[in-house]
Chain A
Amino acid sequence: MPIFHKEKKDRAIIIGCGRLGSALANLLSDENAHVTVMDRDESAFRKLSPSYGGLILEGDGSDFDTLVEAGAHEATLLAATTEDDDVNIMVGQIAREILHIETVIVRLNDTAKEAAFAGSGIITFSPAQLCVNEFRRVLGEKER
């Protein structure tokens, strides 16, 4: 099943081109979505696959003007995947509460910080929590 239903105006923005950000950008690009990936560090974009067909933008994702420059005001999906939880939270909230982006995903290493934006409809992923879930699943299968 396609994870991203492409329509004319659909545009995805990925903040942070680390391992997660670049993988997401590659994935969405393969799904034919309009993707823009942002990072402060130009060399981060080397992680994108050669077949990546989206845009790259060097800049600070927590800067409001840069977000708008990336087309965030007409995006339907924004994923904040930088290594800094606080930056992810800030970008996520700007995206959700000021730019009203439909789907906002934020990667959090410390899930306790979720309280900062409780009730705003932002989706959070925590690598540790996902690992635990997977751990339980694998162990559960073994016991069966």
Chain B
Amino acid sequence: MKIMLVGGHYKTHFLTKLLLGRKHEVVIINEDLDWCRFLTNAHSVLCVCGDGTKPFILEDANAADMDAVVALTNKDAENLVICELAKKLFHVQSTLAIVNDPKNLTVFVRLGVDKCISATEMLAEVIESETLFNEVRNYLPLENGRLVCLDIELRPHAAVNGQALRDITLPRDCIVSCVLRGDELIIPNGDTVLQSGDKLIVMAADVAADRAAEFFAGTAR
């Protein structure tokens, strides 16, 4: 694929390395002349020095030949204009923009950018899944992944602490099959009261796994 990277600093450097390694062709547009020199030396790629929001710069870099244009500047408005010009003036197949304000994700897609990535939102997702994974130690798919076995440790603030299983409304399609408390192994019934520090072995349908993990990680309101 022929890919054009517009703007960006280290992002462009590392992305170029990655894409060249995967046998893509890369063309770079960057405003910083010194950085252009560095990039051409480092990767031996075509690098056009200029403002990528200007149509004639995009033309200099042969935008019409590209399969994809990626806008990496740190201004959302610039990234939008780059993608739109690539799309409407040079008929580039796919355009991708980095957005700083997650609100702009939907705005840009409605205005015709093919794909938007928000670093902020991705970061938030990673942080959330990190905290989730503190409780869910293990994730074992069974039966071709249709069924999963989760190993969940109850934290001190979990909402289910101190409740008997019969009083807990579990999310659909999941069940607590075993409770490990210290050295004790409990096959639970309705009277089993969950405690902080308990390790639960939860069986769940694959679609219900996230729901189940979130449920036991949830804090008391």
A residues lining the B interface (CB < 8 Å): 62-65, 84-87, 89-90, 93-94, 97-98, 110, 112-113, 115-118
Contact = CB atoms under 8 A, between A and B. Distances in A.
Contact of A117 (B53, B78, B84, B103): B84
B56 interface: yes
A115 B85 contact: yes
B103 A89 contact: no
A94 B107 contact: yes
A63 B99 CA distance: 12
Contacts of B65: none
A62 B54 contact: no
A62 B107 CA distance: 11
B85 A90 contact: no
Given A110-B54, A113-B53, A115-B85, A86 B80 contact: yes
Contacts of A90: 76-77, 80-81
Nearest to B73: A86
A98 B55 CA distance: 25
B75 A63 contact: no
A112 B80 contact: no
Given A110-B54, A112-B54, A112-B55, A62 B89 contact: no
Nearest to A82: B77
Interface in B43-60: 53-56
Q: What 6 pairs across the A-B complex have the smallest Cβ distances?
A: A86-B77, A116-B84, A90-B77, A115-B89, A87-B77, A112-B55
Contacts of A89: 77, 80-81, 84
Given A86-B53, A115-B55, A115-B85, A64 B103 contact: yes
A87 B80 CA distance: 9
11 contacts: A63-B103, A86-B78, A89-B80, A89-B81, A90-B80, A98-B107, A110-B54, A113-B53, A115-B88, A115-B89, A116-B80
A97 B106 CA distance: 13
A63 B89 CA distance: 26
B104 A64 contact: yes
B88 A118 contact: yes
A98 to B, nearest CB: 6
Contacts of B81: 85-86, 89-90, 113, 116
A85 B53 contact: yes
Contact of A97 (B53, B104, B110): B110
A85 B162 CA distance: 60
A101 to B, nearest CB: 15
